[in-house]
Structure 1
Amino acid sequence: MTLTSCQSHSPEQAATPPVKVEQKVAKGKTAKKALKNQLAKKPLTDLWDRTRQGLAMDLDNNHPRVLAELRWYKKNQGYFNRVSNRASPYFYFILMEAEKRGVPLELALMPIVESAFDPFAYSHAGASGLWQFMPATGEHYGLEQNWWYDGRRDVVEATRAALDYMVSLHKMFDDWELALAAFNSGPGRVMNAVNKNKRRGKSTRFWDLDLPSETTAYVPKLIALGKIVRDPAKYGIKLKSIPNKPHFAKVKTGGQLDMAKAANLAGITLNELYRLNPGINRWSTPPSGPHHLLVPVAKAESFRAELAQLPAEKRMQWQRYSVKSGDSLIRIANTFNTKPGLIKEANKMETDLIRVGQSLLIPVAVKEKEEYALTAPQRRIAKQNTQRAGRHRLNHSVKSGDSFWSIAKKYNTGVQELARWNGMSPRDNLRIGQQLVVWTKTNAPRDGVVRRVNYKVRNGDSLSRIADKFNVAVAQIKTWNTFDSKYLQPGQQLTLYVDVTRAYE
């Protein structure tokens, strides 16, 4: 593959005589060769060392945009500490996949620029995961996205897709810098910029193209990262060591499995299991797959053995439900935090028709939903509960005809703000009955009245049920009340602040 050969735009280099430039390049090549020879002599116990051996882009580029990114990085050692900690479970696999394809190992640093190695990162534009795939691009590269699962966050599948996409873009542009720009803003936009410069007789190198500001900063960020990884001491940065060995192994589950049970069988925490499997949206693995989980290498064999001993009926927890007047499959599914299709499948139903008194078998989570803190709904709730200084929280239930624009206008706030408060993108679809939070500088919307309400805990109540009933957050109830026990007791009095203009069941 042809690697991009970029030269600096700095005035000092422009004024350097040609002979001296050649000498400088020769010295640079000699230094790179010496570094590789030095690394080759010692065993590679650290992934940063392994990365240095495969850096292949022009890291001697001192374009002002690169230097600007370097200045920021040099001042932010804490950023590299966080990135190294987050990257630790994933970096070995990503580096291995990049090496398999023979691409410059700067590409393995792309998740730093894209998401700071946060597998749950979600942008205002709707991009998701370590590699920040947009929905359409993800679908094009085989990343399935549904209620149960989002392949854009699946570490293995998204890495495969991202590197395949980069190889495809390099074939298109024959230039890694243009390929990186196309990954960020789309190949069509970059091709149009290239063609525009061709027509005007201008350079078609990345550094000379008219591209969006985010894209013009994207490549410099990666080049600057490459410089730091190549020689962190030169920039006053210390890269926390990441062991040069696999962190996780893939274990076939053979079917749907509650994530809490899986974590228990694997001997790890539920949060650790979700961080290795961030594509799982709900409390269990998807009924239609993928039927595998990533677990720490050291736990893989014991997990396989425990799974083999687990009876099929114990993989999930089931609850019998008797259909009541006014019930529908959708209403029942919402009550039990599941999907109508799964209820139909579990009960071998061919239609959505149900009758009063009919007994249904419902798959339910083993633990309270708050325990599954890294599922998509709970991550969104955590985002919604993030306190905003100087603002008051209000809850809005989406009604027919609502949009981000109309809701933002009602509460006199911005569309981007509203989406961000709810862990969403303005492009996301809203559904009737969906609960949104609005952080306003006033106590209530124009048509809402917030009042203090005393609530007496009943049999079967939980914090989440009470929160859902009064359209408030569990965190708010905890803030408004002092609990002497982890569990609620029937007859216990709670103080709530609710919008009394709403009707509650």
Structure 2
Amino acid sequence: MAILVSLGVLSGCATHRSVDELPPMPAAEPSVDDMDLANGMDEPAPVETAPVAATDNEDLWIRLRAGYGLDLSVENDRIRVQRDWYARHPKYFQRVTTRSERYLHYIVEQAEQRDMPLELALLPIVESAFDPFAYSHGRAAGPWQFIPSTGDYFGLHRTWWEDQRRDVMKSTNAALDYLQKLANRFDGDWLLALASYNAGGGTVSRAIRKNEEAGKPTDFWNLKLPRETTAYVPKLIAIAQIVKDPEAYNVPLQPIRNEPYFAQVNTGGQIDLAQAAKLADISIEELYLLNPSYNRWATSPDGPHNLLVPVDRAEAFSTALAELPADQRMQWARYEIRPGDNLGAIARRYRTTPEVLRSINHLKNNTIIAGRTLLIPGPAAGKDTYTLSAESRLADNQNRQRDGRQKLSHTVRSGDTLWEISRQYKVGVKELARWNNMAPGDSLKIGQTLAVWTKGSSATATAATSRSDSNMVRQVRYSVRNGDSLYAIADRFNVSVNDIRSWNSKVASKRYIQPGQRLTLYVDIHQSY
């Protein structure tokens, strides 16, 4: 197995769309943990490591300061407000900078190779507090907070298995590519590039044109930009000023070794993450934090087949992979298709999706034939093992105790929206989305379970729950269309063919259905159709 130490190049853009047309990428709001910490809660004890000597060769912060390229001497109220906030919350600052230890060396290295100001390596503090699982109100994800469309532009693919916007190496290279394009667009003005990263290049260009027409200066400090953007650039400058001289602001800065934290190992194919963590002799939490793009219990079957592991574990991990029998990489179930089965129901039973089953079993569509066998992937360990999978992170967030609130569960029905659900329970849309690891603009799926933390009384909560749980099985009158079959209808509504026959006596005795024929279906709204 090949080992590549902390190096990666992003291939070309996924589209010919102009960089000026890319929409804003709003930064994530601080997590509950981060805000609790900022408000005085104790930070968990950091992992003990050998002390780092304060020399150019051994402390990454010294190397980073040496590569500064922005004007940090500028002083104004916008910068001062941000700097004072960080200075008043030193534990928060320590938390996010310590959290950066896994990733910062790689980012610094890539920015140096591009001859970019190394203050840019601190931008994930502004964007995500170096939380690789951060997800913002604008549907942005990962340490650099790429929204879906901009992620697509830079080739950061999203599938059921993974979201490459969270990939440490790929998202870093994409972000630096984007920042360089923006800097080129604004003739090397990095403050305008940073503002454009947050607000969109078109927004900044329009603000510049407006100032030009009014005879006003066109530098960042004189532009009228969205409120978030006017604070965004000052945040980065304030952070860079504190990192430059932490003692002056009484903010502790944990030394970081000036050496690669991780190495990239070619796994040679899909592998269960619990198995990989065992082979690398690291915790599965550490493996997820280095490989946060993976949503599930395993790497993507489509590749590329790489995992990041601590650099001192890479060689042993590579050797262990080479010795691992092929049938121990993943756990597979073999399911014999029975009459009346449909792919959607089988996928739900095994906690996967029809798309995954189609891909693995080389199916062109959802049509399956009784008597044949489906190969179904599954976790090798209990689901509680995969503590940072998307499913586990959602469960942890939904069940996190909120003082003074009572948790309810709402099952999404046809026509539901986050706005309507928030009105029903008298909670905020942003709150509701945040409790469920969503953004307010995300779409809902019928049958999806949402956690609602309401301030209402028990009686109010019971009434709301009763409204949301009523009519869990709904009668649907369906008119058969050209090309329909019982199997297609069963798959669409997540019921079985036998159920349809039992509900419709005229169908039970006939082999075929006819266009225009009316069928009665009883649809469980907990299921997605």
- TM-score by structure 1 length? 0.79
Q: Does 1:65 align with 2:78?
A: yes
TM-superposed CA distance for 1:394, in Å, is: 1.2
DSSP-derived class of the 1:448 partner: helix
Q: Who is 1:353 aligned against?
A: 367
Preserved CA contact (<8 Å) 1:129 1:154: yes
Q: Does 1:139 align with 2:157?
A: no
Residues 42, 376 of structure 1: CA spacing in aligned structure 2 closer, same or farther, 3 A cutoff?
closer
Alignment-mate amino acid for residue 316 of structure 2: S
Q: In structure 1, list runs of 5 or more residues that go unmatched.
A: 1-40, 452-501
Q: Who is 1:194 aligned against?
A: 208
DSSP-derived class of the 2:102 partner: coil
TM-superposed CA distance for 1:415, in Å, is: 1.6
Alignment-mate amino acid for residue 361 of structure 1: L
Q: Who is 1:171 aligned against?
A: 184
DSSP-derived class of the 1:246 partner: coil
Q: Does 1:371 align with 2:385?
A: yes
Q: Who is 2:63 aligned against?
A: 50
Q: Does 1:99 align with 2:112?
A: yes
CA distance in 1, matches of 2:304, 2:463: 44
Match of 2:282 among 245, 249, 268: 268
Preserved CA contact (<8 Å) 2:409 2:452: yes
TM-superposed CA distance for 1:325, in Å, is: 4.7
DSSP-derived class of the 2:164 partner: coil
CA distance in 2, matches of 1:426, 1:162: 24
Residues 503, 250 of structure 1: CA spacing in aligned structure 2 closer, same or farther, 3 A cutoff?
closer
Q: Who is 2:408 aligned against?
A: 394
Alignment-mate amino acid for residue 129 of structure 2: A
TM-superposed CA distance for 1:294, in Å, is: 0.4
Q: Who is 2:138 aligned against?
A: 125
Residues 197, 329 of structure 1: CA spacing in aligned structure 2 closer, same or farther, 3 A cutoff?
same
Q: Who is 2:103 aligned against?
A: 90
TM-superposed CA distance for 1:42, in Å, is: 4.8
DSSP-derived class of the 1:181 partner: helix
CA distance in 2, matches of 1:315, 1:428: 34
DSSP-derived class of the 2:466 partner: coil
Residues 503, 123 of structure 1: CA spacing in aligned structure 2 closer, same or farther, 3 A cutoff?
closer
Preserved CA contact (<8 Å) 1:185 1:215: yes
Residues 371, 167 of structure 1: CA spacing in aligned structure 2 closer, same or farther, 3 A cutoff?
same
> Identity, % of aligned pairs?
50
Match of 2:161 among 138, 141, 148: 148
Q: Who is 2:480 aligned against?
A: none
Preserved CA contact (<8 Å) 1:443 1:450: no
1:199-251 CA deviation, whole Å, 9 max, x = no partner? 00001111111111111011111111111111111111221001000000001
Preserved CA contact (<8 Å) 1:410 1:445: no
RMSD (CA atoms)? 2.0
Preserved CA contact (<8 Å) 2:412 2:525: no
TM-superposed CA distance for 1:273, in Å, is: 0.4
Q: Does 1:206 align with 2:224?
A: no
CA distance in 2, matches of 1:450, 1:403: 13
More divergent stretch after superposition (402-411 vs 346-355): 346-355
Alignment-mate amino acid for residue 436 of structure 1: L
More divergent stretch after superposition (118-127 vs 389-398): 389-398
Query: How is 1:272-421 mapped onto 2 (pairs within 5 angstroms)?
Result: 272-421=286-435
DSSP-derived class of the 2:217 partner: coil
Preserved CA contact (<8 Å) 1:256 1:315: yes
Q: Who is 1:443 aligned against?
A: 461
CA distance in 1, matches of 2:118, 2:358: 48
Preserved CA contact (<8 Å) 1:118 1:129: yes
Preserved CA contact (<8 Å) 1:256 1:284: yes
More divergent stretch after superposition (360-369 vs 120-129): 360-369
Preserved CA contact (<8 Å) 1:120 1:130: yes
CA distance in 1, matches of 2:119, 2:211: 27
CA distance in 1, matches of 2:452, 2:435: 7
DSSP-derived class of the 2:332 partner: strand
Higher RCO (C-alpha under 8 Å, 6+ residues apart): 2
DSSP-derived class of the 1:264 partner: helix
Match of 1:223 among 237, 246, 268: 237
CA distance in 2, matches of 1:379, 1:249: 25
Preserved CA contact (<8 Å) 1:258 1:315: yes
CA distance in 1, matches of 2:233, 2:359: 48
Q: In structure 2, list runs of 5 or more residues that go unmatched.
A: 1-53, 470-523
CA distance in 1, matches of 2:56, 2:243: 18
Alignment-mate amino acid for residue 258 of structure 2: N
TM-superposed CA distance for 1:156, in Å, is: 0.2
TM-superposed CA distance for 1:335, in Å, is: 1.7
Q: Who is 2:175 aligned against?
A: 162
Preserved CA contact (<8 Å) 2:56 2:63: no
